[in-house]
């Protein structure tokens, strides 16, 4: 049913706005993108991916992204790639280009809370897929940064959806720990890594059991023993050599886990069952500095008070509303809303749902949460809360709230201008800045659409000869 719902509500509607398969939609899309006025077009045309523009976007329906209400007639000023001011009554410094948004929505760029963008080009083609490393002897020490491909087609597709930053996690290794993820930007350049080794990823539950020996008991024991081995290594690095073939951990893995134990690196834990969540929270009794972040948490609402008391953030996918496994029997659309109501810091992301190519679904997921507030008996989020779950909340989860995820002064100049409410299904960005640099909205799909929308005789590849 989940797959059917996605095909009905997402693919059909997004196909019309993104792919613009008929002439009416193509014309509408083009007129919308060129309807911002000559000032915006001229100003952003001067900014190329190698040139940060000092720019003030005025007369905006401005969303700061921190959970506060939109500001009517707001202004955001970006200088040197950073936000220097945002809000109502902001004075525009002399010499800064003014762009009139015409009352349109202006927001921080979306921060994808969980993704594999840059690691995957074609899922079914192994040579283009660096998500998993199932045959390596390393685990926690794996660093995805060298594997990221900023020229992969999913980067541009997700950028055109308003995604400017992403938290990218590895898929898995031959061991319990998957490795170290990164925070990346989706700018049109060759340097996409904002922060390498920004997180460690591990899966508990059914996935972890399969790696640890077949049971949850083995998962928790292996996790504990590997962290204890890393702690011993930190105290006496020479001990690792003395253990020889009996060592349960490689030196690179131990180095990475030491940073998890001391709280330097957040530990993103994929876990769904309520009982597993409680046991993961208990890990801090032995390792008190762990900075836990729960990923998935399908049954999180059942133990929301415990999660809130532990002050552990959660990344959820609101469309996980039916159980796909036995550990998801408590799945409900109200999970995110109930967690938020209990005081949990909730981020909305796309995972288990083509998290390399279709992160743009996150805005619709957040919109669904707003709609749930109107259904009797359901729990959702206010608009302000839902949008913050796409921006400042994931930034907090990865420990980067001071630099990404909102339009507060000092944050990166990631700004998106939308043609409508960004949480509405048909809304699209009309202009995007990353680090204050204007970005292209064109993807590989656009020339393909144009090529095949109205082909003439002789214009098609040979395979299409009649």
List, as one string, the DSSP characters of 398-423.
TT-TTTSSS-STTSB--EEEESS-TT
Kindly calculate the radius of gyration of the chain based on its CA atoms and give it in whole angstroms: 23
Q: How far apart are CA 100 and CA 119, in angstroms?
A: 37
Contact 180, 256 (CB under 8 A): yes
- 462 within a domain of the structure (yes/no): no
Average pLDDT over residues 253-258: 96
- 255 within a domain of the structure (yes/no): yes
Residue carrying the six token digits 């936000």: 83
pLDDT tier at 456, thresholds 50, 70, 90: confident
Q: Same structural domain for residues 205 and 284?
A: yes
Q: Tell me the CATH number at 21.
A: 2.30.40.10
User: Structural domain of residue 400, as residue ranges?
Assistant: 110-404
Output 248 or 432, whichever has higher pLDDT: 432
pLDDT given for residue 465 in this prediction: 53
Q: How many CB atoms lie within 10 A of CB 345?
A: 21
What distance lies between CA 347 and its chain's CA centroid? Answer: 9
pLDDT at 185 over 90: yes
Q: How far apart are CA 414 and CA 245, in angstroms?
A: 49
Q: Does an H or E element contain 66, and which?
A: none
Burial tier of 442 (Cβ tally within 10 Å: 0-12, 13-18, 19+): exposed
pLDDT at 79 over 50: yes
Q: Same structural domain for residues 249 and 321?
A: yes
Contact 307, 319 (CB under 8 A): no
- 463 within a domain of the structure (yes/no): no
Alpha-carbon distances of 244 from 34, 135, 226, 252, rounded to whole Å:
65, 21, 15, 15
pLDDT given for residue 26 in this prediction: 27
Q: Same structural domain for residues 167 and 281?
A: yes
pLDDT given for residue 351 in this prediction: 82
Over residues 441-451, the pLDDT tens digits come to 999 888 888 87
Q: Does an H or E element contain 441, and which?
A: none
Pairing of strands 292-296, 105-108: unpaired
Q: How far apart are CA 71 and CA 346, in angstroms?
A: 23
Strands, E assignment, 29-109: 55-62, 71-79, 82-87, 97-100, 105-108
Q: How many CB atoms lie within 10 A of CB 207?
A: 19
pLDDT at 359 over 50: yes
Number of compact structural domains in the chain: 2
Q: Same structural domain for residues 120 and 220?
A: yes
- 196 within a domain of the structure (yes/no): yes
pLDDT tier at 11, thresholds 50, 70, 90: very low
Q: Tell me the CATH number at 252.
A: 3.20.20.140
Q: How far apart are CA 283 and CA 287, in angstroms?
A: 6
pLDDT given for residue 62 in this prediction: 98
Average pLDDT over residues 214-222: 96
Q: Same structural domain for residues 100 and 222?
A: no
Q: Same structural domain for residues 165 and 145?
A: yes
pLDDT tier at 453, thresholds 50, 70, 90: confident
pLDDT at 242 over 70: no
pLDDT given for residue 43 in this prediction: 55
pLDDT tier at 274, thresholds 50, 70, 90: very high
Q: How far apart are CA 10 and CA 3, in angstroms?
A: 10
Q: What is the largest CA-CA distance in the chain?
A: 74
pLDDT tier at 42, thresholds 50, 70, 90: low
Average pLDDT over residues 228-252: 79
pLDDT at 298 over 70: yes
- 413 within a domain of the structure (yes/no): no
Length of the chain: 466
- 283 within a domain of the structure (yes/no): yes
Q: Which two tokens stand for residue 425?
A: 């299904």
pLDDT at 148 over 50: yes
Output 44 or 73, whichever has higher pLDDT: 73
Over residues 367-391, the pLDDT tens digits come to 999 999 999 999 999 999 999 999 9
Q: Same structural domain for residues 175 and 100?
A: no
Q: Same structural domain for residues 351 and 442?
A: no
- 147 within a domain of the structure (yes/no): yes
Q: How many CA atoms lie within 13 A of 72 on its CB side?
A: 0
Q: Which two tokens stand for residue 451?
A: 């090529």
Q: Same structural domain for residues 270 and 163?
A: yes
Alpha-carbon distances of 439 from 53, 137, 141, 188, rounded to whole Å:
11, 40, 34, 7
Q: Same structural domain for residues 120 and 104?
A: no
Over residues 323-341, the pLDDT tens digits come to 999 999 999 999 999 999 9
Q: How far apart are CA 378 and CA 440, in angstroms?
A: 39
Q: Does an H or E element contain 314, and which?
A: strand 314-316
Q: Same structural domain for residues 392 and 443?
A: no
- 386 within a domain of the structure (yes/no): yes
Alpha-carbon distances of 157 from 113, 248, 443, 452, rounded to whole Å:
17, 41, 6, 19
Average pLDDT over residues 310-319: 95
pLDDT at 293 over 90: yes
Q: Same structural domain for residues 90 and 124?
A: no
- 3-state SS assignment for residue 438: strand
Instruction: Look over the chain and give the mean of its residue pLDDT values, rounded to a whole number.
Output: 87
């Amino acid at each position: 049913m989940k797959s059917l719902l996605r095909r009905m509500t997402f693919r059909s509607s997004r196909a019309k706005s993104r792919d613009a398969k008929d002439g009416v939609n193509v014309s509408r899309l083009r007129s919308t993108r060129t309807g911002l006025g000559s000032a915006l077009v001229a100003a952003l045309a001067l900014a190329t991916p190698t040139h940060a523009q000092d720019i003030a976007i005025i007369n905006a329906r401005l969303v700061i992204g921190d959970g506060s209400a939109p500001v009517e007639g707001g202004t955001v000023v970006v200088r040197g790639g950073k936000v220097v001011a945002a809000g109502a009554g902001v004075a525009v410094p002399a010499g800064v280009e003014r762009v009139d948004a015409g009352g349109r929505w202006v927001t921080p760029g979306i921060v994808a809370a969980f993704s594999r963008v840059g690691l995957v080009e074609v899922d079914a083609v192994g040579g283009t897929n660096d998500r998993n490393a199932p045959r390596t002897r390393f685990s926690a020490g794996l660093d995805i940064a060298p594997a990221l491909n900023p020229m992969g087609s999913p980067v541009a597709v997700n950028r055109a959806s308003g995604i400017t930053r992403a938290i990218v996690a590895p898929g898995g290794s031959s061991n319990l720990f998957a490795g170290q993820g990164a925070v990346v930007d989706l700018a049109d350049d060759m340097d996409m890594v904002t922060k390498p080794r920004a997180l460690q990823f591990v899966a508990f539950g059914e996935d972890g059991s399969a790696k640890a020996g077949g049971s949850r008991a083995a998962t928790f024991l292996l996790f504990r023993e590997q962290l204890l081995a890393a702690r011993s290594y930190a105290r006496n690095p020479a001990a690792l050599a003395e253990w020889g073939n009996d060592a349960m951990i490689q030196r690179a893995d131990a180095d990475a886990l030491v940073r998890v134990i001391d709280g330097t690196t957040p530990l993103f834990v994929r876990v769904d069952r309520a009982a597993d969540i409680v046991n993961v929270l208990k890990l801090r009794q032995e390792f008190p500095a762990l900075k836990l972040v729960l990923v998935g948490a399908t049954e999180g609402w059942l133990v929301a008070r415990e999660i809130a008391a532990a002050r552990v953030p959660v990344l959820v996918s609101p469309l996980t509303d039916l159980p796909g496994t036995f550990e998801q029997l408590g799945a409900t659309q109200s999970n995110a809303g109930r967690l938020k109501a209990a005081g949990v810091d909730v981020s909305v992301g796309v995972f288990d749902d083509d998290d390399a190519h279709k992160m743009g679904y996150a805005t619709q997921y957040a919109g669904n949460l707003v709609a749930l507030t109107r259904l009797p008996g359901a729990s959702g989020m206010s608009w302000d809360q839902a949008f913050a779950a796409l921006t400042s909340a994931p930034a907090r989860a990865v420990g980067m709230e001071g630099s990404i995820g909102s339009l507060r002064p000092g944050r990166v100049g990631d700004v998106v201008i939308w043609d409508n409410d960004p949480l509405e299904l048909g809304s699209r960005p009309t202009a995007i800045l990353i680090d204050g640099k204007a970005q292209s909205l064109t993807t590989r799909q656009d020339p393909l659409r144009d090529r095949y929308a109205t082909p003439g005789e002789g214009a098609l590849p040979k395979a299409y000869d009649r």
